[in-house]
Amino acid sequence: MTGQARVEEFDRFVAARWPALLHLARLLTGGDRHRAEDLLQEALVKLWFAWPRVAEQAPEAYVRKVLARAAARSARRRWWGEQPVGRLPDPPGAADEAAAADERTMLEALLALLPARQRAAVVLRYYQDLPEGQVAEVLGCPLGTARSLTARGVARLRQLLAEAVSPVE
């Protein structure tokens, strides 16, 4: 493959998959759009260097794996920057759209409360709809660990959701 063809193929992949990959990165970073963009750009740089090897196989799987591992690493570092707010100002005008946006916002906020590996397992399993084996492969852990991380993450999300919607007494 010529250099120009390689660049064009990579550009097409990035243009086609950017929105979905950015959304995945946002979920993995707990809803922080700026960290998600940084994380995705770092993953795409790594993909660029691996492109000759992975272009014909599974470039999206490669990016998912890089994103999940980088998000887990970055979550271990202390972050002193801005914190996301619980409710966005000026929700969209339509009531159904506003309710859906509020639900997504709440889910993203609750996901942000999970430990990084649990969050990654839940996002990969239920948002990306990956089978358990692929979740384990992406996270670089045994299948049983991936199942455990997913189950604990979902259980914690249910607990947090119940606390969020129940009235405080």
Structurally, the chain folds into a number of domains equal to: 1
Q: Check: CB of residue 123 under 8 Å from CB of residue 157.
A: no
> Residue 48 maps to which CATH number?
1.20.140.160
Tell me the pLDDT band of 89, cut-offs 50, 70 and 90. Answer: low
What would the mean pLDDT of 90-119 be, rounded to a whole number? 79
Res. 6: pLDDT tops 70: yes
In a domain, 111, yes or no: yes
Structure tokens at 95: 């009531």
Res. 59: pLDDT tops 80: yes
Tell me the pLDDT band of 125, cut-offs 50, 70 and 90. Answer: very high
In a domain, 35, yes or no: yes
For residue 49, give its domain range. 3-77+95-165
Tell me the pLDDT band of 65, cut-offs 50, 70 and 90. Answer: very high
In a domain, 83, yes or no: no
In a domain, 88, yes or no: no
In a domain, 84, yes or no: no
3-class DSSP state of 168 = coil
Sign of CA dihedral 32, 25, 129, 76: negative
103: how many CB neighbours lie within 10 A of its CB? 10
